Amino acid sequence: MEKDGLIAGFERVRVPGDGITVDALVGGEGPPLLLLHGYPQTRMIWKKVAPVLARSFTLVIPDLRGYGRSEKPLDEARPELYCKRQMARDQLATMRHLGFDSFHVAGHDRGARVAYRLAFDQPEAVKRLAVIDIIPTLDLFAASGEAFMGMFHWSFLAQPYPLPEMLLEGRGDRFALALMQRWVKPGFKFDEEALEDYLLSNRNPAVVRAGCDDYRAAWLFDRLHDQESLAKGKLEMPVLALWGAAGAVGKASPLEIWARWAKDLCGEALPAGHFVPEEAPEETARALRAFFS
């Protein structure tokens, strides 16, 4: 049974994406700010950050295509349905439907990959960009050693259909929980309501399939799109990179890496593992509010 995925003070809306229906929360007052979640989660990662940011911004907080309550197109012959370029088109369509031709964007994990792809493909739409606990996909595939060992799911989920789906059948929630527990700082416990939403979502076979397609698209399309963008030049808009001080991304010298991709860059480590908006909500809200104001 699907949960509503509500955050107090926000309205749930069903809005157009690019050929799909997107389920999102909208609320707050001020300049528009799009908040994007990652794998294996839903928009509920923003539960503790959104009420603070809503004092200064109009927030749009969707479930990405294939996740949570948004539509989940599945077509074995069309793996490009989950490339970040396509997922970015969803965000652009949603924001335009809501009346926002230009806006700020912040994303965590897969959502950050959608966010920077949107910034490269539609720079006129993105005023400022914040990426949380990632390095670009192209750089991640070039990584090796200890940092990459914690990211085994990149290769596992990207295996051809239906191998990972078969292995995860009836276990999607347990796999998601195991990953999340691996990637947090010691002693952290997820918000019970948010965690229930993640696990319920990952019990849906369509979500498991979409998650695999998301990672397949990273290898088949996203890294190639990154190569094309990097060859054309850096992002022009201001970019903020945040990462967890206790996570794997910090070991990769993220600011040094992002400097290859963005002309106007700032960033900092926050006291968290991978799930920065949940492990360090006050620090995340402070950093985002200061950057986007």
Query: Is 274 known to be catalytic?
Result: yes
Q: Which tokens hold the place of 257? A: 């890496």
Query: Is 109 known to be catalytic?
Result: yes
Catalytically annotated residue among 23, 63, 90, 109 = 109
Q: CB–CB of 7/25 below 8 Å?
A: yes
Q: Are strands 265-270 and 32-36 parallel, antiparallel or unpaired?
A: unpaired
Catalytically annotated residue among 104, 153, 225, 274 = 274
Residues belonging to the active site:
109, 274
